Amino acid sequence: MSGFFHIVSLGYRCRTSHRLREHFGYWTAFPFDWWITPIEGLTRFIHDWDVDRLYRADQLRVRQMLFQKAWVENREYGFRLVHEFSRDRWTLTSRQFLREVPQVKARTSYLMSKFDELDSKRRRVLFVRNLSRDEEADPAACEALRQAVIKRVPRADPEFLLISSTGVSAEGWIPLKIDDPSKEPWSGDAVVWDTALSTLGFRLHRPGIPQQPRPARPLPEGLLEPGYSRFFNRLGFLSGLIRKEA
């Protein structure tokens, strides 16, 4: 069984991030979690790593498909920034979303800095790319993406997991077949994903925390008087939340 300190989605879609979080039980965010990213554009962006270029007004436009909510798209990289800006089915306009660019850019900058923090010898990281069907016939693009990530965080200790509907292989990637074509719900079939991910034997560590559970230390008898017991119960609740968000 292999353990990792971080699991990082490299797209291409929201379903990938959601299913990884549900299966491995983490909530730590990175830049590409909720974007729709073609692999070639993602590779170029990792090389450029320029948040100002990403949010240049002349490269952003509103797109919409029939019976779907509108989204903002970056034309240079082909990214669909579907969750970064406020959306309404009919009224998303250039004037509206451009007002939000400073706030959105600040959030993206923060997540990019978290990605850069993976560049550490103490970080064993699993990078995961879920290929679109069009990308499954292009193993060279997978290798280009892998090399871009290695160049971005050269001191990390990475593994690369490649999810596809056919189990396609590419150099340096662990292949995994997950055929989940369902359109509804957007999050896909949890059973299909969990079954496939379980075959890997991977687990997620908490960074900097010993992996062997510490034995519980019994409290001396009589320590918890009425009133104090409620206080310690609340501490236990808060520590549970901290563990969940780590």
pLDDT at 211: 42
Pairing of strands 6-9, 2-4: unpaired
Nearest-angstrom CA–CA distance, 244 and 240: 6
Residue 145: strand, helix, or coil: helix
Nearest-angstrom CA–CA distance, 118 and 150: 11
Q: Any long-range contacts for 164-167 (C-beta under 8 Å, 24+ apart)? A: 164/130, 164/131, 164/136, 165/133, 165/136, 166/136
For 61, phi and psi rounded to 5 degrees? Answer: -150, 160
How many Cα atoms are found within 13 Å in the side-chain-facing hemisphere of 43? 13
* Residue whose pair of structure tokens reads 């090389």 in the numeric block: 47
Residue 111: strand, helix, or coil: helix
The crossing angle, in degrees rounded to 10, of helices 190-198 and 14-24 is 60
- Check pLDDT > 50 for residue 237: no
Higher-confidence residue of 95 and 184: namely 184
pTM of the complete model: 0.81
* Domain definitions of the chain by residue range: 2-204
Pairing of strands 60-63, 71-74: antiparallel
CB 192 within 8 A of CB 180: yes
Q: Which two tokens stand for residue 220?
A: 């001396």
Burial class (CB in 10 A: 0-12, 13-18, 19+), 60: buried
CB 204 within 8 A of CB 2: no
Dihedral of the alpha carbons of 62, 18, 123, 128, in degrees to the nearest 10: -80
pLDDT at 168: 95
From 83-92, 155-164, 190-199, the region with the lowest mean pLDDT: 83-92
- Mean pLDDT, residues 66-72 taken together: 81
Handedness of CA 170, 8, 131, 107 (dihedral sign): negative
pLDDT band for 55, please (50, 70, 90 cuts): very high
- % of the chain at pLDDT higher than 70: 80
Nearest-angstrom CA–CA distance, 84 and 79: 11
Question: In terms of Cα–Cα distance, which of 191, 198, 157 is closest to 176?
Answer: 198
- Mean pLDDT, residues 52-79 taken together: 91
Contacts of 9 (CB under 8 A, 6+ apart): 16, 17, 20, 30, 32, 33, 128, 130
